[in-house]
Chains A and B, each alone.
Chain A
Amino acid sequence: MPKVSVVMPVFNREHYVREAIESILAQDFEDFEFIIVDDGSTDSTIEVVSGYSDPRIRLIEMPVNCGVSTARNVGLRAARSEYIAVMDSDDAALQQRLSKQIAYLEAHPEIDILACRAIKVMGSQKIPMNHVTNDAEIKARLLGMDGSAMIHPTTMMRAKFLTENRILYPSRTVDEDHGLWIAAMVAGGKFASLEDHLFLYRRHASNITEQDQKQFQQEKTPLRTELLGLFYPALSGDEVYAIAVLMNPFSQLSLRNASDGVRAAFKAIQYNDPVFGESRPYLNTLIGSTAKRVITALEKSRPPRQGTQ
């Protein structure tokens, strides 16, 4: 059995997939299987992948385009190794990614999901990202749902932890990574990140419309509600939902929504005991600043008071 299974779904990425594949084949740690799940590509992706003769590559073809979450799950089911390295088809791993992550996980049996830092690539720009590295900060940042907890394709997971707790990616079209991490946290999982920058994370020239943005934010509300319920078990369902609505920057808040959200937020920040080891100061700051943003907006929209200068 190889030590690590690299799992990479790919869908119509003929232009980028070569770089992703070669970055794995060039790793200084060689004992891996490389599971590439083609999710019904209609361009030349399969020809590109088939062009590599490295015996460590296992190409798995989905019969139709099934979506990234299903493709990742099929990859997880096919994986045979002790560790699973997540990979995306438009990124590139630096040469020591696998070796450094495996060395860390071998030395830290308490960690179940390990990220590393990434360098964001936008055109010719390369910007190092400095993500937090400890369990408490990572867990608290899950609530932001803004990519500040971990960069998903940089993660390596302990396969035994996933199978024992029956953790797979939820069937979502977006944020399937956060869905898996929440399940992992609930199952008692511990997170960490290496400080080393071992990954090139490509961001494409954004052609996401504001309408898409609104839709994405909207779909975060159920996951935020779930997380808030977990982090604040003494708040009611109505209260955690009110905070989740407040956290969506695109929410059209009625005075009632705003008031419910602000009241619930003030109530939430009274609770300072970690439930899953998450950083409470960070949660308080996040929720407090959300309430403050809404209050400031309300103050600005207030008509000027009569009789003052």
Chain B
Amino acid sequence: MGRPKLSVVMPVHARPEMTQEAIASILVQDIGDFEFLIIDDASSENMQDMLNTCKDPRITTLRLPISGGEALARNVGLQAAQGEYIAVMDSDDVALPHRMSRQVAAMERSPKIAILGSWTQKFKGSKIQEMHHPEADAVIKARLLALDGSAMIHPSTMIRADFLKRHSLFYPIRRTDTDHGLWMEAMFSGAQFANYPEVLLRYRRHDGNITNTDKDRLHRDKLGLRQQIVARFFPTLTHFEATQLASVLQGGGTGTVAEACVGYSLFLKAATQKQSIFGESRPHVNQILKEHAERLRQKIAFNS
């Protein structure tokens, strides 16, 4: 077999039942020309038993000798993938049968797009909700500043492998938001993004998703990433100011009036950057700033 068109890359770690459903949803795709790389991040025996029952010539299981975490496992997948496109998949989600064919066709039609997400259907038990993420590159890039999952849904994305190779891009080794880390680096390297305007993935939410556990730590982990994008979106700010602005965007801090004043002033300074740097929509960026600034303005006005 020559180079496959597509590599589906899915790290697995826990929850064999959900993983089995995810695997089945890939094997019944309406196109067949893909390799399916399952990165077994040193999972339990239960998981291995389940994986052993999944017999399909397209599946290659790469078992890590030591659990390395999500980002490391995904990088192993990127390194091993041979396809022209890489479909990101999570082991607790379900791809609709036409996901791969739709996204591959769209990538072929639009050679400038480096990363393509899609609309998704969020579900938790019997509760479902459609999520229509923005289609336009400029809006997606601006939403990266919000760092809240409103830009793209990671497991819905398909990536042009050559773009990553050309710019030596990998998932940054972080505990959280490694997806945003990769997207930011891709944006800094000139990537274009889009979301396919049709639901192609069922995106499962469950109690195992990282939510309230260790919120403080998550907060700090996010701050570094925010600092990076703030510094690049607002290059006239000093490193010190960019760190402060990131912290205000994060909503952290002690909440004093003095702090609010500094934050409010920084928002005003940042909003003077009118020129798009990476193709991001500046009106949209400023909208995000404005929402935060308004919160601070009210705080100051209320206290004085």
Contacts and interface: CB of A to CB of B under 8 A. Distances in A.
Interface of A: 60-67, 70, 73-74, 77-78, 166, 168-173, 219, 229-230, 232-238, 240-241
B301 interface: no
A188 to B, nearest CB: 14
Given A64-B76, A171-B75, A235 B171 contact: no
Contacts of A173: 168
A66 B67 CA distance: 14
A237 B173 contact: no
Contact of A229 (B79, B171, B239): B239
Nearest to A232: B239
A233 B173 contact: no
A241 B231 CA distance: 11
A168 B175 CA distance: 11
B239 A74 contact: no
Contacts of A67: 75, 79
B238 interface: yes
13 contacts: A60-B65, A63-B62, A70-B68, A70-B75, A77-B66, A78-B65, A166-B175, A170-B173, A171-B172, A233-B238, A237-B237, A240-B239, A241-B235
B66 A74 contact: yes
A63 B76 contact: yes
A229 B231 contact: yes
Interface string B221-243: 00000000001101111111011
Contacts of B237: 236-237
B72 A237 contact: no
Contact of B239 (A63, A65, A237): A237
A74 B65 contact: yes
Given A170-B172, A171-B171, A173-B168, A236 B238 contact: yes
Interface of B: 62-68, 71-72, 75-76, 79-80, 168, 170-173, 175, 231-232, 234-240, 242-243
A89 to B, nearest CB: 17
B64 A63 contact: yes
A149 B80 CA distance: 34
A64 B35 CA distance: 15
A170 B182 CA distance: 12
Given A171-B71, A238-B235, A73 B76 contact: no
Given A63-B80, A77-B66, A238-B236, 20 more contacts: A63-B63, A64-B62, A66-B75, A66-B80, A67-B79, A70-B72, A70-B79, A73-B173, A77-B67, A166-B175, A168-B173, A169-B173, A171-B75, A232-B239, A234-B238, A237-B238, A237-B242, A238-B235, A240-B239, A241-B235
B76 A235 contact: no
A34 B62 CA distance: 24
Nearest to B243: A233
B64 A237 contact: no
B68 A77 contact: yes
Most chain B CB inside 10 Å of its own CB: which residue of A61, A229, A230, A235: A229
Contacts of A236: 235-239
A171 B167 CA distance: 13
Greatest chain A CB density within 10 A among B75, B76, B80 is at: B76
A303 B172 CA distance: 48
A220 to B, nearest CB: 12
A67 B75 CA distance: 9
A50 to B, nearest CB: 15
A292 to B, nearest CB: 24
A237 B240 CA distance: 10
For B62, B66, B171, the residue with the greatest tally of chain A CB atoms inside 10 Å of its CB is B66
A233 B65 CA distance: 41
B161 to A, nearest CB: 15
Nearest to B74: A171
A74 B72 contact: yes
Contacts of B170: 171-172
Contacts of B63: 63
Contacts of A170: 172-173
Contacts of A60: 65-66
A66 B75 CA distance: 8
Nearest to B240: A233
B80 to A, nearest CB: 4
A232 B243 CA distance: 13
A61 B65 contact: yes
With a 10 A CB-CB cut-off, give which of A73, A171, A172, A233 has the most chain B CB atoms.
A171
A229 B240 CA distance: 8
A62 B237 CA distance: 43
Contacts of B234: 237
Contacts of A73: 68, 72, 173
Nearest to A37: B65
Nearest to A39: B79
A158 B79 CA distance: 30
Contacts of B64: 62-63, 74
Contacts of A232: 239
Nearest to A228: B239
Given A70-B76, A232-B239, A78 B66 contact: yes
